[in-house]
């Protein structure tokens, strides 16, 4: 019996029998349906985000594990977290079956490597959140990792596209993305991969919000380590604190590149008080500003 992720579309919908324009439109429709599949999993995605935020607050790690194209989706999400939200890189682990490819080779047999799970498990503790992905929910590497981290007491978030699959059954937070059959049968880098990427985007962004790294819809914990991001941070500071870009740049320099602290400094708070406020309010800017309003004439 075929799993939903490997089912074939009716013969009349075979993408290679369509014109190029028709095939493109059909493919776009498949991608749209794949993204829509994450709507039903929104409550579980939100739970996953809260678990991730709790792990970061308590000094735990975020551990991503997957094989093949699922591993590439995990890699993309994990690598964006330090720059976008200022999540310390040392709190992120990425485990891809066979290792992260340095070229175009990604051998398929690595997804059967169950022995690697024991090695991964040695670096996982009870305070961590482990995110394991497998489109089918049956990949041996993913299942082995899931079983090992469960024995460590870590919170296991599983993402798969087949309801009732073994991986989802193991999870503390199962996220089922019921994507339709692929436009190219069994090629789960397509619809299932798109749904995985969208779900990871949503979950990690909700985590960033929970940690206070988003304020007024802006990424206020951005790591400004290149010209583009320095300019972006300056714009964020200037807009939120209602100061000139020159003043915002001075505040960013005085704060050592700490965008959140610079926002408060630009609003008239000393750097020492800015850091104390952020510590007291666990990194959330809104309560920092609210605590200042009765006491001083701030600029926001």
pLDDT digits (tens, 9 = 90+) for 221-258: 998 889 999 999 999 999 999 999 999 999 999 999 99
Alpha helices (H) along the chain: 20-36, 42-57, 68-85, 116-121, 140-151, 166-170, 191-210, 227-241, 245-254, 259-266, 271-280, 285-292
Q: What is the pLDDT of residue 225?
A: 86
- Assess whether 80 carries a catalytic annotation: yes
User: Is the confidence at residue 188, as pLDDT, over 80?
Assistant: yes
Cβ 74 vs Cβ 96: under 8 Å: yes
Q: What is the pLDDT of residue 103?
A: 80
pTM (2 d.p.): 0.90
pLDDT digits (tens, 9 = 90+) for 59-117: 999 999 999 999 999 999 999 999 999 999 999 999 998 888 888 787 777 888 888 89
Q: Give the list of residues 6+ apart from residue 237 with CB closer than 8 angstroms, or none.
A: 243, 248, 251, 252, 259, 262, 263, 266
- Assess whether 44 carries a catalytic annotation: no
pLDDT digits (tens, 9 = 90+) for 152-178: 999 999 999 999 999 999 999 999 999
Q: What is the pLDDT of residue 1?
A: 43
Catalytic residue among 36, 44, 111, 169: 111
Full set of structural domains in the chain with CATH: 4-210 (3.40.50.10490), 214-292 (1.10.8.1080)
CA distance 37 to 219: 27
CA distance 51 to 34: 25
Mean pLDDT, the chain, whole residue set: 90
How many CB atoms sit inside 10 A of residue 141's CB?
Answer: 28
């Amino acid at each position: 019996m075929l799993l939903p992720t490997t089912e074939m579309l009716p013969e009349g919908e075979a993408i290679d029998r369509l014109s190029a324009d028709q095939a493109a439109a059909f493919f776009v429709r498949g991608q749209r349906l794949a993204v829509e599949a994450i709507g039903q999993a929104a409550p579980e995605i939100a739970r996953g985000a809260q678990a991730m935020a709790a792990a970061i607050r308590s000094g735990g790690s975020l551990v991503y594990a997957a094989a093949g194209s699922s591993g590439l989706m995990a890699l993309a999400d994990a690598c964006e977290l330090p720059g976008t939200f200022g999540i310390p890189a040392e709190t992120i682990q990425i485990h891809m079956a066979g290792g992260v490819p340095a070229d175009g080779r990604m051998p398929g047999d690595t997804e059967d490597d169950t022995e690697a799970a024991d090695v991964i498990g040695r670096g996982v503790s009870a305070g961590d959140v482990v995110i394991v992905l497998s489109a089918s929910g049956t990949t041996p590497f993913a299942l082995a990792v899931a079983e090992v981290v469960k024995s460590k007491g870590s919170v296991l978030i599983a993402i798969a596209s087949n309801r009732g699959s073994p991986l989802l059954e193991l999870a503390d937070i199962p996220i089922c993305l019921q994507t339709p059959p692929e436009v190219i049968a069994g090629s789960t880098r397509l619809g299932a991969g798109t749904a995985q990427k969208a779900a990871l985007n949503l979950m990690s962004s909700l985590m960033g919000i929970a940690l206070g790294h988003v304020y007024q819809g802006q990424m206020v914990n951005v790591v400004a380590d290149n010209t583009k991001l320095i300019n972006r941070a300056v714009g964020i500071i200037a807009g939120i604190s209602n100061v000139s870009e020159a003043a915002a740049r001075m505040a960013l320099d005085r704060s050592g590149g700490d965008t959140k602290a610079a926002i408060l400094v630009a609003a008239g708070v000393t750097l020492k008080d800015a850091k104390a406020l952020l510590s007291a309010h666990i990194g959330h800017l809104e309560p920092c500003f609210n605590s200042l309003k009765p006491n001083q004439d701030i600029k926001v």
